[in-house]
């Protein structure tokens, strides 16, 4: 006799897949994960659909409905409030995104080594390994040197210059996070990924 399906929370599904809550919620809405809602409005996701998605992601067989895979975005930000803001805002965009959050430059380097993102969005002031040193290490490593990087920082031009500056190909925005401009940047990256996928 077939076993009863097991269900897990959205947060647990996000943890297992290494994605943000907003991204997992979008996946449910698109039908990529099987789920239902409790009387209280909480999503319960079929554990087997999470395992299946994870297996397909590992073997590279997932393609987004828009054509090609989702854009992988890694956000390095130690402020918990800004982390929630990134997750909520990026998760609300109608774009094929897989968003991963880390809280330090060291964690970002580990994640880039495991699963290189298409785009890194990072703060500069972070505990331990700061954004300046992290970016230098990324650019010094031939395997990660081509990573597309966007810096979002409250530091002034003089503060950044005092720390040795940033590479010329790094895009910089100030704080508060300019999500309108950031969305335009991300949309352009999504379009570029689609063109590469289609071979245009």
What are the structural domains, with CATH classification, of the chain?
Answer: 1-62 (1.10.1660.10), 63-198 (3.40.50.2300)
Cα–Cα distances (Å) from 46 to 4, 53, 62, 136, 179, in that order, read 11, 11, 18, 42, 33
Q: What angle do CA 123, 127, 129 make, to 5 degrees?
A: 80
Q: What CA–CA distance (Å, rounded) separates 75 from 174? A: 15
Give average pLDDT by consecutive 10-residue segment, the chain, 200 residues. Answer: 71 79 74 77 82 63 54 94 92 89 93 91 93 95 91 95 94 95 93 75
- Cβ-based burial of 89 (10 A; exposed 0-12, middle 13-18, buried ≥19): middle
Tokens of 166: 């940033």
Q: What CA–CA distance (Å, rounded) separates 141 from 9? A: 38
The whole-number pLDDT of residue 63 equals 43
Element at 188 (helix H, strand E): helix 179-198
The whole-number pLDDT of residue 10 equals 84
- Cβ-based burial of 180 (10 A; exposed 0-12, middle 13-18, buried ≥19): exposed
- pTM of the model as a whole: 0.68
The whole-number pLDDT of residue 57 equals 58
Q: What CA–CA distance (Å, rounded) separates 177 from 170? A: 16
């Amino acid at each position: 006799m077939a076993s009863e399906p097991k269900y897990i929370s959205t947060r647990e599904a996000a943890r297992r897949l290494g994605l943000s809550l907003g991204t997992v919620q979008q996946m449910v809405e698109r039908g990529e994960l099987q789920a239902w809602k409790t009387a209280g409005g909480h999503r319960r996701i079929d554990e087997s659909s999470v395992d299946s998605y994870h297996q397909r992601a590992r073997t590279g067989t997932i393609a987004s409905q828009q054509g090609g895979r989702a854009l992988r975005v890694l956000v390095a930000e130690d402020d918990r409030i800004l982390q929630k803001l990134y997750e909520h805002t990026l998760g609300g965009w109608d774009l094929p995104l897989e968003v991963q959050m880390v809280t330090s430059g060291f964690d970002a380097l580990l994640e880039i080594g495991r699963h290189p993102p298409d785009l890194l969005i990072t703060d500069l002031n972070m505990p331990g390994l700061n954004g300046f040193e992290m970016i230098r290490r990324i650019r010094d490593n031939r395997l990660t040197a081509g990573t597309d990087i966007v810096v979002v920082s409250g530091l002034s031009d003089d503060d950044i210059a005092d720390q040795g500056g940033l590479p010329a190909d790094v895009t910089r925005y100030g704080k508060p996070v300019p999500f309108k401009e950031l969305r335009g940047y991300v949309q352009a990256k999504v379009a570029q990924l689609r063109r590469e996928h289609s071979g245009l």
